[in-house]
Structure 1
Amino acid sequence: MSSPRRVMKRLRPAALILALALGMGATGAWAQVPDGADEPAALRPEYPAQELTGQILYQMMLAEISGARGYGRQATQSYIDLARRTRDPRIARRAAEMAVIGRQAELLTEAAQVWLDLEPTSVQAQQLAAGAVLDDKRARDVQEQLAKALARQGDRIGTALLALNRGLAQISDKAQIRRLVEALTEPYLKLPEAHFARANAAFVAGDQDGALAALEEALKLNPDWEQAVVLKAQMLQPTRPALAQQTLAAYLERHPEARDPRLVLGRLLVADRQFPQARQQFERALSYAPEDREILHAAGLLAMQQGDLKLAEAHLRKLLQLGYADADTVHIYLGQIAEASKRPADALAEYRDVKGGEQFFPAQERIAQLLVNMGRLPEARQHLQALAARGGVEQVRYVLAEASLLRDNQQQAEAVAVLERALADAPESPELLYESALMAEREGRLEVMEGRLRKLIALKPEHAHAYNALGYSLAERGLRLEEAEGLIRQGLELAPKDPFIMDSLGWVQYRRGDLNGALASLQAAYTLRADPEIAAHLGEVLWKLERKDEARQLWQQALKANPGHEVLQDVIRKFKP
């Protein structure tokens, strides 16, 4: 049987699509201060002719530096004091922004009120002050203030109505927000924006049906309102995905060049795993906007996922030419495409173009592996050793990568030596203790394995896989089975949905003769993850329960998906010579 360590596979392109191309976005619990550009021109205040004196500049810089260093409360208070002294609403606005960013409810109340005193016609100031007032149980004052602000908007009332929910988003009582929005929009129900505001408030309050009904009213008044159509589709998606897609498709028949509805339709199709149809939508969008970076990114990933590597590469290269912000991730994709196209030198070049961030380590791992594949193991080791010599938080990861390369290339003794040298320098490194324990287990040095895993547990009692590794190793050898099960159950308490620890529990139950318990644990594990090793264990339990046809079928399905898997082949040979 195999070691207790389970190595997670790299994400396949489909998973990357779901992670990166979906990008729906989410609304935070605290609203950002809306842009003042939405204020009606006639109502914008005459800002004071403020001279930027040395003292004012110094206090503003001090506040900004305090905020950047994590002293948000001090920064906000400094801006509030400066706004009171200068009577400048722009400084009061910055004070409110600081309070929102720092989630300082008390200071937000104060800052919003100062801003409102200095700029009484500002819808944004009204909204923030209203939200702060609501926290003080003064709902009637809120309604009165906002009603007055809306009444002043004139022909900009639609914009003001759309800003209602955004301005009140920091209020925790969403039902109260809905009541407030419904009361405030009552005089404006001939406007589609009023119904849109009601839809938003209903949705946030958890009433999806009410939200959809309000959107239908908005669309009756303005059937071609893109924003309302998109919101309707997004609300339908969780429960009625087909209808969500139909809603957008019908709109696009009338407005084929509409960007956002087509992008949302593409993302909904991705979420529904309809990748070819999603790709069609992004390619169609690209025909209307060939230099749109968001569309290029999604179209490139979908082409990659479907194996159209030539087109995927073209899209991604164009993305780089257009100055895409996350260039490192694009280089990772281009490296994967080059590898799949049997162009290792090109792949190396792409990975070497990754300059930093979270993609840097995966790129260096791929560089080392490519060098090994090209017969250049010493060069691969030198590459990883040079990176480890830089020190820092990534040092241990490069040591582990080197040891893994050596182990995978049948240089077990050298892999052990690499880990032992690193462990001598960092004897309490959890990663080195865990990896060196597993290496010792492979060599049959069980006392070393157990000693290091117990040290790791003492250092990090929450390390679920340390308990699992020790318990599984004991169970695999038929040693101290009661203790082994106890260790595995401790790991499972820490990570109750981990399929590999559930597999270990099933295996120790099997070793203790509890076939029915083992079957339940292994079936639950296999449902969460169709791993070939779990399939091997589950099949063995089924065989022992005289359910041999089910065992054979399971093994064959797992072998088809994982040809050449050693553990799976061993168990099949054991029961089917």
Structure 2
Amino acid sequence: MKVILTIQLALLLSMAGCTQLPRTGDAIAHGSAASAGAAPATELTADSLFDFLMGETALQRNMPDVAVESFIRLARETRNPRIAEHATDIALRTRHFGEAKEAIDLWVALEPDSMHARQAAVALFVANGQLDNVRPHVEQLLKLEPETVDKAFMQINKLLSHHPDREAVLKLVQQLAASYPDLPEAHFAVSQAAWSANEFKLAAKAMNQALELRPEWEMAAVHQGQILQKIDKDKALSFYDQYLDRFPRANDIRIAYIRMLMEEREFDRGREQFQKLEQVNPSNPDIALAIGLLSAELDDLGSAEKYFKRALQLGFEDTNTIHFNLGRIHEIAQHNAEAMDAYLRVTGGERYIAARVRYAFLLAKRDGIAAARRYLKTVQVENEQQRTQLLMSEAQLLRDSGEFRGAYDLLDAYLRKYPDQVELLYDRALMADKIGKLDVLERDLRKLIELRPDNAHAYNALGYSLAERGLQLPEALALIQKAIELSPDDPYIMDSLGWVYYRMGDLKKGVNYLKLAFDARSDPEIAAHYGELLWMNGAKEDAEKIWQSALEEHPENELLLDTVRRFMK
């Protein structure tokens, strides 16, 4: 363990910035605990005694320059390793790196097998970025205790992590590892250094060599999977599959595999891996919840319900999250009574307000808007943000039922009372548009842009409104371009951009952007716009197909119906 401890200490020293000086010369008089009695006694001459006393006095008076100079000179004259060690310690602590190098060189020359001397040398040269000088000292450290070389290699990259030249670090680690071709940890260290240098193919090759020497090494396999993701995601997935075939109980690998599958949105395969993980950990509620969530994502509502309830039975701590998710899957399945019951079981936490809102929407379907609004007014809130959420939900209820004036009046009254609730400006602007208060729409959106200049939807809504009315089209284009800059992948903003180009007479650009929007999201209003531009561009059959498909899924969408009526009389 001494090699490991030495490298760890070297790391600490390399980062040390302590300037507090030792107060006594005990280390010189008695030697360090590790090497007491190892050095010959030194008879001090008058000059040496003077340097010793001057150094001690300088230490006591916090005069580091004088102390360092005195002890370096004393070490040079006496060639006593304890004095060289003490001079090194003072120079390193006070960041006199030039003098520290001289003291360390002398110390190493006097005690070439001293772990402490080698450790101090590594610390100094790493701190100064002198990797060429590091190598012989690390090699000697590795040789001093060969039984711990494996653990030492696992520390080497950490020791060198502060050096900015990652290619130089890689070269050094390769040189150090070359003497240990049969040591898995040596190849692991090379792989880590290559990873840091963005040499991913080399990193994969080195980690593969480590795994050939120790196939069951899960840590190496996890790293190999991460490396392969940088090179070829399919190869990474194949690697995980093959490794788990050989070592089916390698849970760390399976978790890494699942994480990658989630990133790639391979939910079906991810659920399969979670189920295999569950076979090994049948009493883990977290795994049951994860399988439930993936099942819901895959629209397997029966399995989702089963695993959510299993997570409850196994004692999953956050019951509110599970009840909320049970409510969602019941609502999707149109089991509204069960959904309402589940939502009411959410008694706190982050999902509390959302659960109460969903309950209100289902209540509106069952008992009407008035009952839902009365219920929302009974919900207890803890802060203004929650109160605002409930108000926005109440306005949404009114909007969904076509009561645009009621929604506008509700939002308007609240904003008059709480003018700082900028979140409501956007909603009031939309309702103002519905009831023809275009001055309010424009004023609210411009104010929102002023207050929240990164709000892409505000730019988009204002630009689209201007384009729809054929007003200030250059400004409308600039606003929507700003929105797309803030949110480049938003299909609704792409739709607006295509629409404003159409309004400006650039049909070709309009069609291109509407196609991008429609390919990203087959929304009925995007379909209405895209179909109109295709029709105007002469592709009437394509337009009819898009409209017909959209009508099958959204037969009551007003914009879509109006567009179809205008063109297919």
Determine if the TM-score, normalized by the shorter chain, exceeds 0.5: yes
- Which stretch of the first structure deviates more once superposed, 206-215 or 136-145? 136-145
Cα separation, 2, equivalents of 1:269 and 1:388: 40
SS at match of 1:393: helix
State the one-letter code of the partner of 2:395. Answer: A
Aligned to 1:288: 280
Write out aligned runs for 1:453-464 (5 A): 453-464=445-456
Match runs of 1:431-510 below 5 Å: 431-510=423-502
Aligned equivalents of 1:574, 1:111: Cα separation in 2: 84
- 1:551 counterpart (543, 558, 561): 543
Q: 1:391 aligns with which of 371, 383, 403?
A: 383
| Amino acid paired to 1:197 | A
1:316 matches 2:300: no
Partner SS for 1:230: helix
Q: Give the 3 Å change call, closer, same or farther, for CA 380–194 of structure 1 in structure 2.
A: farther
Distance 1:263 1:362 in 2: 30
Q: 1:470 & 1:550 partners in 2: Cα distance?
A: 30
Letter in 1 for 2:176: L
Q: 1:457 to 1:229 in 2, by over 3 A?
A: closer
The structure-2 alpha-carbon separation of the partners of 1:274 and 1:386, relative to structure 1 and needing over 3 Å to count, comes to: same
Structure 1 unmatched runs, 5+: 1-38, 46-75, 86-108, 114-119
Q: Tell me the SS of whatever aligns to 2:178.
A: helix
Structure 2 counterpart SS, 1:217: helix
Over residues 545-569 of structure 1, what are the superposed CA-to-partner deviations in whole Å (9 max), with x where a residue is unaligned?
1122232333344445555443233
Amino acid at match of 2:421: S
- 1:347 and 2:339 aligned: yes
Indicate the residue corresponding to 2:511 in structure 1.
Answer: 519
- Residues 113-262 of structure 1 aligned to structure 2 (within 5 Å): 134=126, 136-140=128-132, 143=135, 147=139, 150-151=142-143, 154-166=146-158, 168-169=160-161, 172-237=164-229, 239-262=231-254
Residue 366 (structure 1) aligns with: 358
User: 3-state SS of the aligned residue for 1:295?
Assistant: helix
Tell me which amino acid in the other structure corresponds to 2:203: A
Please give the alpha-carbon distance, in whole angstroms, between the structure 2 residues aligned to 1:282 and 1:394.
Answer: 35
Which one of 390, 401, 404 corresponds to residue 409 of structure 1? 401
8 A contact 2:327–2:343 mirrored in 1:
yes
Compute the TM-score of the two structures, normalised by the length of structure 1. Answer: 0.71
Residue pair 2:3, 2:141 contacting (<8 A) in 1 also: no
- CA distance in 1 between counterparts of 2:291 and 2:242 reads 22
Greater RCO, 1 or 2 (C-alpha within 8 Å, sep 6+): 1
1:140 Cα shift? Answer: 4.6
Which residue is 1:116 aligned to? none
Distance 1:514 1:278 in 2: 46
CA distance in 2, matches of 1:394, 1:84: 59
Partner AA of 2:422 in structure 1:
P
1:381 corresponding residue in structure 2: 373
Count matched residues: 478
State the shift of 1:246 in Å. 3.1
What is the CA distance between 1:450 and its match in structure 2? Answer: 1.8
State the AA in 2 paired with 1:404. Q
DSSP 3-state at the match of 1:187: coil
1:111 CA displacement? 13
Q: Is the 8 A contact 2:495 2:513 kept in 1?
A: yes
Shift of 1:384: 3.6
What value does the CA root-mean-square deviation take over the aligned residues?
4.1
For residues 545 and 226 of structure 1, the distance between their equivalents in structure 2, rounded to whole angstroms, comes to 59
Partner Cα distance (1:112, 1:558) in 2: 73
Report the equivalent of 2:86: none
User: Following TM superposition, by how much is the alpha carbon of 1:287 offset from its aligned partner in structure 2, in angstroms?
Assistant: 1.6
In structure 1, give the amino acid aligned to 2:445.
Answer: L
- 8 Å CA contact 1:388, 1:398 repeated in 2: no
Secondary structure, aligned partner of 1:374: helix
2:329 corresponding residue in structure 1: 337
Counterpart secondary structure, 1:188: coil
Gaps of at least 5 residues in structure 2 are 8-14, 24-91, 97-113
- Aligned residue type for 1:430: V
1:195 is displaced (CA, Å) by: 0.8
CA 215–571 in structure 1, closer or farther in 2 if over 3 Å, else same:
same
Aligned counterparts of 2:230 and 2:5: Cα–Cα separation in 1: 41
Paired residues of 2:4 and 2:152 also in contact (CA < 8 A)? no
Which whole-Å CA distance do the structure 2 matches of 1:110 and 1:392 have between them? 54
Whole-angstrom CA distance in 1 between matches of 2:454 and 2:265: 36
SS in 2 for 1:197: helix
- State the alpha-carbon separation in 2 of the partners of residues 149 and 353 from structure 1: 63
Q: How big is the shift at 1:121?
A: 8.0
Does residue 422 of structure 1 match 2:414?
yes
Matches of 2:161 and 2:337 in 1, distance apart? 52
Bigger Cα displacement from structure 2, 508-517 vs 166-175: 166-175
Instruction: Determine the structure 2 residue equivalent to 1:306.
Output: 298
Contact (CA 8 Å) 1:43, 1:121: kept in 2 or not? no
Provide the rounded CA distance (Å) in 2 between the counterparts of 1:314 and 1:306: 14
Cα deviations by residue, 1:421-463 (Å, 9 ceiling, x for unpaired): 2101222432222211111110011122222222323333443
Q: Percent identity?
A: 38
Q: Separation in 1 of the partners of 2:5 and 2:151? A: 14
CA distance in 1: counterparts of 2:339 and 2:405, whole angstroms:
30
Residue 427 of structure 1 aligns to a residue whose secondary structure is: coil
Change (3 A) 1:498 1:313: closer
> Partner residue of 2:59?
none
The answer to whether the 8 A contact 1:519-1:542 is kept is yes
Partner Cα separation in structure 2 for residue 291 and residue 111 of structure 1: 56
Deviation at 1:158, TM superposition (A): 2.6
Q: Which letter maps to 1:504?
A: S
Question: Aligned-pair distance for 1:515?
Answer: 0.9
The CA distance in 2 between the partners of 1:112 and 1:162, in whole Å, is: 28
| Distance in 1 separating the partners of 2:493 and 2:447 | 20
1:193 CA drift (Å): 1.5
Whether the 8 Å contact between 1:536 and 1:567 is mirrored in structure 2 is yes
Flag the 1:510–1:388 CA change in 2: closer, same or farther, 3 A: farther
Q: Is the 2:20–2:93 Cα contact (8 Å) retained in structure 1?
A: no
Aligned-partner SS, 2:221: helix
Cα distance in 1, alignment partners of residues 415 and 492 from structure 2: 27
Deviation at 1:184, TM superposition (A): 3.4
